[in-house]
Structure 1
Amino acid sequence: MFLTNLSKLKKLSVPFKPKLSPLSFLSTHPENQPHQELALNHQQQSICITNRSYWTKKIHDLCTKHRNVDEALRLLDHLRLRGYLPDSLNLSSIIHGLCDANRFNEAHQRLIIFLTSLCVPDERTCNVLVARLLHSKDPFRTLNVIHRLIEFKPEFVPSLINYNRLIDQFCSVSLPNVAHRMLYDMINRGHCPSIVSYTTLVNGYCKIGEISDAYKLFDEMPEWGVVPNSLSYSLLIRGVLRKRDIERGTELMHVLFQRMRYEEDQSVNSAAFANLVDCLCREGLFNEVFMIAEEMPQGNRVNVDFAYGHLIDSLYTEGMKKVLVKDYVSKKNGFPALSRPM
């Protein structure tokens, strides 16, 4: 009986067919899953590993065209296990891909991992990557990356633009003293500070109320051949007026308007004028704003349409309601409306 059942089972059973591995299909289509192709045999593995242009393009496409940096990382890890040594092109693709995905913390960490694996890019690529990491607005992490880059590549010097951006970010988190050390560091590394460097620091010190340190910067600028521009003075005025030093603020305003006459870049004058009007409105010094509107002491160094447009906009957005309330209260109490506070 057992033999009879066994014969029936043989008739009914389907001949066993081994399940085809997906690698047998992928081996003829390397564009689909290239990292699995490496498992075929030693000879093909060696050929694939040495085909750097193919893998570099694949990693780059995953990070840019497909926006799939995770798959690029998995592929790169798979390749490294089989002897592939990443280069600066792979590093650049991964870091840009992580930044595009707004994964800046991981981008900082990955760059350091690449460095410890002795994958150190050239100086130009280093500066490009630092510039990209600065978009994270995390100056401490970026500064740590810069220190590690210098550790593995002692000849590396961050660009002047990157230094200025780093100074600005430290000032934006109310740490101008740290930003000031960045200024000295870039001087020690061969850079000559620019007006952007000093103006950014002036703004940082004025932001936290350290006006005396801001004045020291004005004394220091000539030592490096830097001449304060109109924007520098307008930022200093904003800091002085925040301290309610109206007399000193008035003196600096005269200096500012004189400086505007010699400023070659009209956009700098426009930025200085806008900053001055904004801070006057913010501090409630509306009569000074009206005086500027009437007398236009900046002359033709600021576009007239821009000047009047910004005056109107600042009065409306910053203080027009205060002006109307002050006018109403003054008239009600029998005082002249809008008496000049300065």
Structure 2
Amino acid sequence: MTHHLNLIAISKFTVPHADIVLIIVDNSDLQTRTACSRVNKEWAGLLRGRIFGPHLTVTADQFSKLLATISDLPLVFNNVLQYTKGLTVIDNDGALNTEDMIALCTPHAIEAFSRTLSLELNGPMTFTSFTSFTKFVFFFPALDTLSISNVRWKENSSTMHTDIPILHSHHRGYKSICMCLDLSRMQINTVLLWLLASNTIVDVRVLKIDLTFMLENDHLLRTTSFNNLRTLQLSNINPLLNVTNDMLISVLRDQIKSTLEYLTLTIFAYNKSHLERLPWWMICTIITDQKEYSGLKQLEIVVLDIENPYFWYGVERFLQRKLAPFVIKDMLSIKFHDSF
């Protein structure tokens, strides 16, 4: 709809229209918002903060162009510095050349983002090395929130370096950072070690992780705060593995916090008999403890690889019976997917 708007005509309205303009740009993409800001000086002043902040969401291509523009246009530099408190970079097609992006992070561009408090990298996004990834994070000195989703680096674990510190806080001592992690088991291990080696207190808010990682790295996780965990997504739950039940119960007991709002369990199961192997009564008991789960808003069960879609209805009814307290409260969501 925004592509067909007559912006010049709107700009000539004699009645107050600031609210209308803000509604338009708040529901538009970056390109449309930028076009609106060029209608006249009044709109430019009105929209500057809406375009560059407080949370700027851009595609990888747009971010690269923004970095290049910052070096050429003082006004863009000043707007980013003043208004951008949060930055989200999305690369849905995986076409981003991260080395090109890093090359554009000149000292001038880094200064423009020196007041940015949160950074979200939403891939698929591949850095040439873990060192390259840490250099990029290093460009944001004021970070207190770092979100990493579907980000990769090419070095194997034996050659990863964790000696590049996250940018130091203006205060001496520890720096605290909130984390949203959606990485592989080894990647989470590496990132946490890197942050801890940098005197950084890690407060994890979102954790999407292979179930088998949790117990094997208990020594590391004990040094990481999960007290404010909001979202927990456990994958690789396989009822056919004998260790699954004990591991799942142990993780749920350790990680079900009063702050937890969203819990997702992703389970491999070819039919209902596989699902019956899981300790549903114990699972339900743990997460319905009133003292602990008071903040929970949704329990999501994702079932992978059911051998015949005609079985979905029977599986859904089975899960609804086993997790009846969540059905009553309209908190249970059941989904079926293939694992490939």
More strand, by proportion: 2
TM-score where L is the length of structure 2: 0.44
TM-score where L is the length of structure 1: 0.43
More helix, by proportion: 1
